[in-house]
Chains A and B, each alone.
Chain A
């Protein structure tokens, strides 16, 4: 079949909501876009383990320790599901990891902000996971089958993450003056970065149009961001805290909340590597990978030895 015919039948499948599977024909750019997005998503899960992982050793109760440990571990699992989905497109996990370490592949900028107090763990669960879930729920319907299936599994597991975050803040908001202050401070610091998680404005996002046509993405950055603001602006009332935005106001005619301008300079600075923790996060990942090399090598060597011994026995 000539390429333009293949492309036509490919787009037809997408239009008819038929999932694309690994061995199906797909345009090169579709493959690339998916590899880029899925691996970026996987990297975000793995790097995302670090800021929260910081607080496992200091969690304020054994219950919180166990919950946080389970949550960070889940993120590792999610990274694994996503790497596996990306691998079905023909790129190995090791190559993806190399790209992360060389700085070629990106991960979500949010993880380049530091976790300074225990309340940050609550704020991350509520705001950062909340923002991620908006995106991820949309992605359960994405057009590439393995990605969609990974997202279904992830969404199922993530449902406790946002709740535990909110609960941490709820307890703080009902606690001592110090705890309340800690709670508000964390919300102040995490609010704007979590709005940035949805990416550049639609008018400036280079990848959105084609991704929408291919149904890799099904809602635009701005639509998702607005949904998020509408949700959080209501939930914060329960905490009795404030979002750090004077322009935040219900707009009766639009039936949405208006909100202030994001500091895009900061966004691009963090993307470029100048966030507070960019270097430290990447260094931690590289160190883990490099220190693990001899371990991976030893296990592979042992497996080979054992297989050879078995062969000898059989002969």
Chain B
């Protein structure tokens, strides 16, 4: 592989890893604070799956970099501008509706992406995608059901989901716009949009919701220009490693 391509593969792996880590970190904020014990446990499971995915992907990126990087140096010692996660996953938990909608929009994207990536010629990447796909299929099912419950539940839950849509929909456009590293690798990210939209609309229909139209779409996360939230997330996430550099834990 030529140098440029190999750098792109590193960037792409980091992008996937950052997505998983940041959403895992966000979901973990629910641990101990969920609306009912069973759902507290459920969202924590998803968080654990995502952190597991992040670890595999960081390890893969570290191996590609071959410069002494580790999963932890990549997660703990990169800065706001180096993180490549999409804007959607760094948005605050808000209420249960906002967290469910963020999960659903992201899981459905991740589902088609991993399905696509499991045929990638980079074997390790394909293997990670294949393993993660099983987890993501469950996340997608679970979050779809919540969207339906909340959309077609009470007046209050319906209006809360609408509010969450207003909050989050503007971050969905970025998912399907290829970053330079995706173009380099020939990852046809925009081709996933069709299936994604179909899935989202099917679930929305059952939930008596409609996808918003003509919304301005924000971008930048995939290339390191984030919303203000990410800085705070990283401050907390990286605190110990920053205060006590170079220690074993």
Contact = CB atoms under 8 A, between A and B. Distances in A.
Interface stretch (A12-20, A196-204, A291-299): A291-299
Interface stretch (A48-56, A98-106, A124-132, A145-153): A48-56
A77 interface: yes
Describe A's contact surface by its main secondary structure: helix
A46 B31 CA distance: 10
A303 B31 CA distance: 25
B52 A64 contact: no
A179 interface: yes
Given A62-B72, A72-B32, A80-B41, 11 more contacts: A56-B31, A59-B240, A62-B21, A66-B48, A69-B48, A69-B51, A73-B45, A83-B37, A291-B95, A297-B154, A297-B156
Given A56-B28, A58-B239, A62-B75, A295 B36 contact: yes
A292 B96 contact: yes
B160 interface: yes
A302 B51 contact: no
Interface stretch (B3-11, B145-153, B169-177): B145-153
Contacts of B44: 69, 72-73, 76
A80 B240 contact: no
A294 B240 CA distance: 37
B48 A53 contact: no
Contacts of B36: 292, 295-296
B111 interface: no
Contact of B153 (A64, A292, A302): A302
Contacts of A175: 247-248
A206 interface: no
Given A60-B249, A62-B71, A179-B247, A295 B35 contact: yes
Size class of the contact patch on chain B: 35 or more
A76 B41 contact: yes
Contacts, number: 135
Contacts of A272: none
Interface residues of A, number: 48
A63 B241 CA distance: 14
B58 A49 contact: no
Contacts of A79: 37
B14 interface: no
Contacts of B29: 57
25 contacts: A57-B29, A58-B236, A60-B241, A61-B72, A62-B71, A62-B72, A64-B249, A69-B31, A69-B44, A69-B51, A72-B44, A73-B31, A73-B41, A76-B32, A76-B41, A76-B44, A77-B41, A80-B41, A176-B247, A178-B244, A288-B33, A296-B35, A296-B36, A298-B153, A298-B154
